[in-house]
Amino acid sequence: MLHITLTSQSRAAVEALRRDSSLHPAERDRVEMILLSASGWTVPQLASHFHRCPAPVRRLLHGFAAEGLPALHRQHPGPTPDTQRHERIHRALAELLAQQRTWTSAQLAEALHPQGIHLSARQVRRYLHARGARYRRTVRTLHHKQDPERVAQAKEDLAAFKKGHKRAS
């Protein structure tokens, strides 16, 4: 039979956690499981009371016996985030976005390659979303393609039509 015994110090620490408002509800349930186990509840009773399978309850009790209070906190799956890499990517994206041009996420991914940052377009979009970057609209004009003589003639024609005079072709 798996049973947790708490010393007066460990009981005080667990009771202090019980009143911690920053705990996630699942963590609060774990604290209650430890306290109820210390007061004599069995694993099947705890599992039925918390609507859980007995295996996770046993894992919690074994983990608490081995690790103590850290076993009560949620463990995030996967490796810890690489904050240095994230900062490097954010700095590189900030430099590229400061340029006077618009980018697609695929273009940004390609522009990051020479800096040793290999991301897919989808990952670039995630980083952009995290930065709060939004789409930048470009002013679509044809000024750079227009012939000045034809523009002047078109303005004359338009002015003539506005006055009601049609130009003889």
Whose tokens are 């506005």? That residue is: 162
Other CB atoms within 10 Å distance of the CB of residue 112: 20
Q: How far apart are CA 8 and CA 30, in angstroms?
A: 19
Q: How far apart are CA 122 and CA 128, in angstroms?
A: 10
Structure tokens that stand for 157 in this block: 């024609």
pLDDT tens digits in sequence order for the chain, 169 residues long = 788 888 899 999 999 988 888 889 999 999 999 999 999 999 999 999 999 999 999 999 999 999 988 888 888 788 888 999 999 999 999 999 988 888 889 999 999 999 999 999 999 999 999 888 877 666 666 666 778 888 889 888 888 888 776 655 5
Write down the pTM of the prediction: 0.50
